Amino acid sequence: MPSAARLTKVGADRNLHSFRQIFNHFAKPEQRELGMEITGAEIVVKCLQAEGVEYVFGYPGGAVLFIYDELFKQDKIKHVLVRHEQGAAHAADGYSRSSQKTGVCLVTSGPGVTNAVTGIATAYMDSIPMVVLTGQVPTPAIGQDAFQEVDAVGITRPCVKHNFLVKDVKDLAPTIKKAFFLARSGRPGPVLVDIPKDVTTAKCEFLYPDVVPMRSYNPVTKGHPGQVKKAAQLLMEAQRPMIYAGGGVVLADAAAGLVRLAKLVGFPVTNTLMGLGAYPGTDAQFLGMLGMHGTYEANMAMQHCDVLLAVGARFDDRVIGNPAHFGSVPRKIIHVDIDPSSISKRVKVDVPIVGNVADVLDELIRQLEPLVSRIDQKALKSWWAQIELWKARDCLRYDRASPIIKPQFVIEKLYEVTKGDAFVTSDVGQHQMWAAQFYKFAKPRRWINSGGLGTMGFGLPAAMGVQLANPGATVVCVTGEASFMMCTQELSTCRQYRLPIKIVNLNNRYMGMVRQWQQFFHGNRYSESYMDALPDFVKLAEAYGHIGMRIEKPAEVEPALREAFKRTDDLVLLDFLTDQTENVYPMVPGGKGMSEMILAEEL
């Protein structure tokens, strides 16, 4: 298949007729329909087919009816009908996160778009590739306050990587091509294409280009070799080195490179909440997650290291806390990231390397290999000895003898029963932090959570996308009763598509994370954080045609999990009644330094 660039060149110096012949001759059948005019709606579907899209997560409405009509007439793309557009966006997002593919969602104009915005912003904050197609009122009606009109491009501009309003059917195919290209290249992100209804009925020839040249968009890949060399030298001079890896490693599929690098040098590694799974959670060099609820050893090592290698991470406020406190300890920082604007944003760095994390890690390994004999092994040994002392604090300790179910215990058992091999999605709150702390992810793309935006309601719809991207895999949604009720309606979608997700509801009858902050920082005044009048979750699951189980005693936890995971074809909701007073430790209070942790024994 020749590239479109070449074709365009050929086309440019011949007449259009011969260009057509050439294109028709070379192009895959799904990429061309020259000499024949088809509607915009057909073009949308053909573009998605040409992209190899398996699933579209969506919800119909007036502005997208012609597109839905075309979806109806074909069977290559399967449409997944959610119960709320937020669910469509989260499902497409979960599909992307758990695979190397780009999730697609399709919603109607007006309320369809506004409902999807939370999901789009969630994907944006975590740099998740996603293409969002939105219906729009017909072009002549735009700006007339037409029925179900919103300025979709305007509303979503600050929470997408890029967006387009297609005003001419001829621009439709190239725009969709651009959308997919933008979504997954460079620093990935959601891209929205707003399509007015009259554009879906207008006709033109169809040609899906292989590439669309964009002079204004040239993401870098390779890092600057001179900078990589400097980084290698700095690492070899370290007395107390540390590797801090974030979601960028997962997104760049660079986990293998990270492991090779860490093994080559023997340095300690920590992962951010978004990076979990980038480095195997059970490896001896792994210090656990860092940050606001990171382990004591990871936070202390981060604070006290003298050379820090930051890879695909962005020093955000939930990770380093107060940047001034972090900066009060002298250390050299090497920062590898695809996005130059992430570098030196919150923390000044010494060796910035802009590039694709996977490529840069390969180059760094290549340059380090001949140098590793220079590592000061004595210093490294005493650094590890210090880290072992920190580890000995056993900061994740909890009361295992408790007669009430401890949420940490549920996650530990979940890890055991699923042999650490499940895809785990989560909502937002304490349960999210316990899942991150206690489920030891061995592989990337297994831990699916909303780290940047912190969106309650994410877990269940994201799990749907994960299950569809990974048929046959074990998919668990760890949630809290408050979060779960933000997208409960998707239980109906799970029923329709027979998605055998296991829902682990850590039910503490509180918005636990809010309650914890109120306990620590607001004098135990639990303002509006108690969840009164909760539904019976077992009956709720049953009402949607699923299985529900209530677990009230620690001894029942493991048998219940085993029973649930035996049911590989069913969705099972496990409602664990957990300790209402349990808190997440360690905790770095907002605005504090990362070594200023509150530990369990201190309260």
Partner 1 sequence: MRHIVSILLENESGALSRVSGLFSARGYNIESLTVAPTEDASLSRMTIVTTGSDDVIEQITKQLNKLVDVVKVVDLSEAPHIERELMLIKVRATGKDREEMKRMADIFRGRIIDVTESTYTIELTGSGDKLDAFIEALDRAAILETVRTGASGIARGERVLKV
Ligand X SMILES: Cc1ncc(C[n+]2csc(CCOP(=O)(O)OP(=O)(O)O)c2C)c(N)n1
Residues involved in catalysis: 85, 147-148, 197, 513
User: Of residues 237-256, which lie at the interface with ligand X (CB under 6 A)?
Assistant: none
Q: Which one of ligand X, partner 1, none is in contact with 590 (Cβ closer than 5 to 8 A by kind)? A: none
> According to CB under 8 A, which one of 154, 225, 590, 591 is a site residue for partner 1?
154
Look-up of token digits 């839905």: 68
Angle in degrees, 0-180, between the axes of helices 554-566 and 407-417, rounded to the nearest 10? 40
Per the structure block, which two tokens stand in for 306?
């003298």
Q: Side chain identity at 474, as an amino acid letter? A: T
**Phi and psi for 213 in degrees, rounded to 5?**
-65, 135
**Phi and psi for 42 in degrees, rounded to 5?**
-65, -40
* SS3 state at 571: coil
CB of residue 505 vs ligand X: minimum separation in angstroms? 9
> Are residues 89 and 126 in contact, defined by beta-carbon separation less than 8 angstroms?
no
> According to CB under 6 A, which one of 95, 180, 315, 510 is a site residue for ligand X?
510
Stretch that binds ligand X, among 191-199, 316-324, 451-459, 467-475 (CB under 6 A): 451-459
Q: Where are the alpha helices (DSSP H) in 14-158?
A: 16-26, 40-50, 65-72, 85-97, 111-125, 152-156
* SS3 state at 81: strand
Identify which of residues 184 and 406 has a Cβ nearer to partner 1 in the complex: 184
Q: Is 214 in the site for partner 1 (CB under 8 A)?
A: yes
> Are residues 323 and 315 in contact, defined by beta-carbon separation less than 8 angstroms?
yes
> Are residues 217 and 182 in contact, defined by beta-carbon separation less than 8 angstroms?
yes
Q: Angle at Cα 99 formed by Cα 94 and Cα 101, nearest 5°?
A: 95
**Helix and strand totals (H; E) in the chain:** 25, 20
Stretch that binds partner 1, among 8-16, 153-161, 195-203, 562-570 (CB under 8 A): 153-161
Look-up of token digits 């994410």: 458
Instruction: Kindly give, in sequence order, each residue whose CB lies less than 8 Å from that of residue 109, ignoring residues fewer than 6 positions away.
Output: 61, 62, 63, 64, 134, 135, 136, 137, 148, 149, 150, 152, 197
Strand (E) positions, 139-264?
A: 162-165, 190-196, 203-207, 241-245
> According to CB under 6 A, which one of 123, 155, 514, 573 is a site residue for ligand X?
514
Q: Can you tell me the distance from the alpha carbon of 290 to that of 73, in angstroms, rounded to the nearest whole number?
A: 50
Q: Is 272 in the site for ligand X (CB under 6 A)?
A: no
Identify which of residues 155 and 464 has a Cβ nearer to partner 1 in the complex: 155
CA of residue 295 relative to chain centroid, distance: 22
Q: Which one of ligand X, partner 1, none is in contact with 45 (Cβ closer than 5 to 8 A by kind)? A: none
> According to CB under 8 A, which one of 143, 226, 340, 559 is a site residue for partner 1?
340
> According to CB under 8 A, which one of 25, 215, 525, 566 is a site residue for partner 1?
215
> Are residues 169 and 37 in contact, defined by beta-carbon separation less than 8 angstroms?
no
- Name the CA dihedral angle for 56, 61, 67, 71, rounded to a multiple of 10 degrees: 50
Stretch that binds ligand X, among 20-28, 258-266, 424-432, 548-556 (CB under 6 A): 424-432
> According to CB under 8 A, which one of 20, 79, 101, 162 is a site residue for partner 1?
162
Q: Which one of partner 1, ligand X, none is in contact with 341 (Cβ closer than 5 to 8 A by kind)? A: partner 1
Distances in Å between the Cα of 31 and the Cα atoms of 44, 48, 167, 173 are: 12, 10, 22, 10
CB of residue 318 vs ligand X: minimum separation in angstroms? 12
Q: Which one of partner 1, ligand X, none is in contact with 514 (Cβ closer than 5 to 8 A by kind)? A: ligand X
Q: Is 153 in the site for partner 1 (CB under 8 A)?
A: yes
Q: Can you tell me the distance from the alpha carbon of 545 to that of 549, in angstroms, rounded to the nearest whole number?
A: 13
Q: Is 213 in the site for partner 1 (CB under 8 A)?
A: no
Q: Which one of partner 1, ligand X, none is in contact with 233 (Cβ closer than 5 to 8 A by kind)? A: none
CB of residue 592 vs partner 1: minimum separation in angstroms? 23
> According to CB under 6 A, which one of 46, 187, 431, 502 is a site residue for ligand X?
431
Q: Can you tell me the distance from the alpha carbon of 163 to that of 124, in angstroms, rounded to the nearest whole number?
A: 12
Stretch that binds partner 1, among 209-217, 246-254, 399-407, 571-579 (CB under 8 A): 209-217
User: Of residues 402-421, which lie at the interface with partner 1 (CB under 8 A)?
Assistant: none
CB of residue 346 vs partner 1: minimum separation in angstroms? 10
> According to CB under 8 A, which one of 161, 391, 431, 546 is a site residue for partner 1?
161
> According to CB under 6 A, which one of 482, 504, 551, 572 is a site residue for ligand X?
482
Identify which of residues 214 and 555 has a Cβ nearer to partner 1 in the complex: 214
Binding site for ligand X (CB under 6 A): 427-431, 454-456, 480-483, 506, 508, 510-514
Binding site for partner 1 (CB under 8 A): 153-154, 157-158, 161-162, 165, 182, 214-217, 339-341, 344-345
